[in-house]
Amino acid sequence: MGAAAAAGHAALAPRILLPLVVLAAVCRCDPDLLFDYCVADTAAAAGAGVLHLNGLACIDPALARADHFATSALSRAATGPAATLFGFNVTLTSPGASLPGANAQGLAMARVDLAPGGMAPPHSHPRASEVALVLGGTVLAGFADTSYRLYTQLLRAGEAFVFPRAMVHFLYNADTAAPAVVLSGLNSQSPGAQLVPFSAFLTEPRLPDEVLKKAFKITGQDVQRIQRHLGGL
């Protein structure tokens, strides 16, 4: 290799490596902390205090207390419209409210309450994997991979199931006479959630009827009926 070619390769290397390094940094969901913890400063104005990427402003570590790392938010069931629509409700921990000590730790917890015969409908978490532990009841858990292979397992109290990141999954209370409770752990502070029925039929603005009709092999009346039943009209 000539000197000119070697010099050209040397000049090209930084231009190749730098985008790769930047891309790797951007793709990481919740970066590791460079210090022990970052208790969320829930009273700080936006942009104030020590700000951690993908987290909230931190309080002075000297002011951290044990109760910053504890929560009772998951001790009670939530209520809301989903309980009527699908028979489930979710209580999610929040660094900005219920669990400031979890700020920037790359995790979240959720309590899922399933009414008798209720279901957490097919949905995905684009930024997190999930492990679901059944605390009470009998729950059918399952997910579909990108090859459209379905994995399901009937779980009882004390049994757990893993949902890989971004895979569409569901929880169904197989008992039509008694409620079920599931505790979930997610490996992102902000896992996100996309419910498949809402993504298809309740977007703003709406997906064109022709798209829905062709995708689901249904009629325009079916589209309107589904939207109405989901509460969109």
Domain boundaries, the chain: 3-65, 67-229
pLDDT for res 82: 60
Q: Are strands 50-51 and 57-58 parallel, antiparallel or unpaired?
A: antiparallel
Distance CA 161, CA 201 (A): 29
State both tokens at 180: 């079920």
pLDDT for res 12: 54
Given a contact cutoff of 8 angstroms between Cβ atoms, the answer to whether 76 and 12 are in contact is: no
Q: Just give the CATH number of 67-229.
A: 2.60.120.10
Distance CA 66, CA 8 (A): 57
Residue 229 backbone dihedrals phi, psi, to 5 degrees: -70, -30
pLDDT for res 54: 56
Residues 6+ apart with CB under 8 A from 161: 131, 132, 141, 153, 155
pLDDT for res 26: 45
How does pLDDT run across 140-190, given as a tens digit for each residue? 999 999 999 999 999 999 999 999 999 999 999 999 999 999 999 999 999
Distance CA 214, CA 119 (A): 27
pLDDT for res 25: 43
pLDDT for res 57: 86
Weakly modelled stretches of the chain, pLDDT under 70: 1-29, 45-55, 80-82, 232-233
Amino acid at position 60, single letter: D
pTM of structure:
0.81
pLDDT for res 5: 54
pLDDT for res 100: 94
Amino acid at position 65, single letter: R
